[in-house]
Amino acid sequence: MSPQLFRRVAVAEAFTWAGLLAGMFLKYVTGTTELGVQVFGMLHGVVFIGYLLTTLVVAVDQQWSARRALLGLACAVPPFLTLWFERYAASRDLLADRWRLRTADPATATERLVAWLVRHPARGAVAGLAGVAVLTGAALLVGPPV
């Protein structure tokens, strides 16, 4: 499931980037509407945080190096690079067909957390959604991007 999940979130992140960029064009270039920025700004923020969390879970499960995990995280910032990184990871067999920690013994506290998430998919999904909600709420408290 990890490759499909990672691919879906990477594509969603790129899609919301496209919507946000289109909204910015309509707002700042044509001056016609702010609706695209209002809708896709929030949506992109939520999916951006989801991509970051998914990348961290996959990186721990697939035992990526810190450098590779940071590259995956950094690819969320420029538009559409999540698509490139997903292809990069898939072409280098960095996305196994199954979660490693579903059956392997976790060696660290981080691996124990990820093992719990992947061994209890429904609870893991709820925990992931809660994490996205909490981080989105924290970002909103800090304030919108300038």
Q: Name residue 95's amino acid.
A: L
Residue 15 domain flag:
yes
Residue 52 belongs to some domain of the structure: yes
Phi/psi for 41 (5° steps) reads: -65, -50
Decide: residue 144, CB within 10 A, 0-12 exposed, 13-18 middle, 19+ buried.
exposed
Site of tokens 């979130």: 9
Residue pLDDT, tens place only, 42-64: 999 999 999 999 999 999 999 99
pTM for the model: 0.93
**pLDDT tens sequence across 6-33:** 999 999 999 999 999 999 999 999 999 9
Domain count, the chain: 1
Domain span holding position 69 = 2-141
CA distance 87 to 144: 31
